[in-house]
Structure 1
């Protein structure tokens, strides 16, 4: 449980029933691209539930006072001993309230609690709001050489971020 003033928030495991809600959160085709890199709009509930079929993916929802307000995934890579935070989105009516930062910090806590200290994120280069959020949650850009090598197989040159181990609370 996360307490923020008088508000109660919980990070809970994703259930297939949450997909119906999450599919309505991206408000445009361009937002879908920035959120999950897909070209379809809207994204289907089946697509979101299918993402959960990968054993290395753990999806979570952020619940505020019993209302689902955020969604995000942890992509575990045991071979590389790292985790990527992915497909993070906050419900449109709840944006701009710091919930994205809460969600990212809670997902980071899950990754660290699972024993992973190398935690990364990729962000669409046009998603300035997300970049501000993630930097505020304790993430910093990876080195240019590493970003270049990771972007070689990507559809766009993502901004790659990593957990700042020097940041307070990391």
Structure 2
């Protein structure tokens, strides 16, 4: 398995991995199902602080994720992690998160965070298994104040 940079030619494929409105929301920020055709090619932000990656099994993409760099806050956030639904349940999500941690750690910031919807038990188990822990309730409440959803925020503890 190998982590590679994301190219627009894979946008339609990754968008097709969303099987619910919730998954569309995680990937694009909009909760429409199916994935809105007008977003394909533009849903991953053209922002120099966002690094988008595909996770490959040989030449087949099996996962997608982003590393959001925040120099101002001296932190990194893993975001928009999704695995091909035909490949779920095989540990690929954990492998993908471990692979995303490499560029996140290499960025040199002391903290690596992610947010997950509290009802996403599979993702939470994955993140806990990779070494993420919950932030304090006070931090969670503070960070969720400006969010459209009350996320479960986690910090990488190594």
How far is 1:52 from its partner? Answer: 3.3
Whether 2:56 is the aligned partner of 1:60: answer no
Aligned to 1:154: 147
Query: What are the ranges of 5 or more consecutive residues in structure 1 without an aligned counterpart?
Result: 1-8, 165-169
Partner of 1:86: 79
Find out whether 1:24 has 2:16 as its counterpart: yes
Let me know the Cα RMSD of the aligned residues. Answer: 1.5
Number of residue-to-residue matches in the alignment: 157
Cα deviation, residue 120, structure 1: 0.2
SS in 2 for 1:154: coil
Say if 2:26 and 2:80, in contact at 8 Å, map to a contact too: no
1:39 aligned to 2:31? yes
Partner of 2:117: 124
State how far apart, in whole Å, the 2-side matches of 1:146 and 1:36 are.
25
Report what 1:167 is aligned to.
none
Partner of 1:137: 130
Unaligned runs of 5+ residues in structure 2 are none
* TM-score, length basis structure 2: 0.93
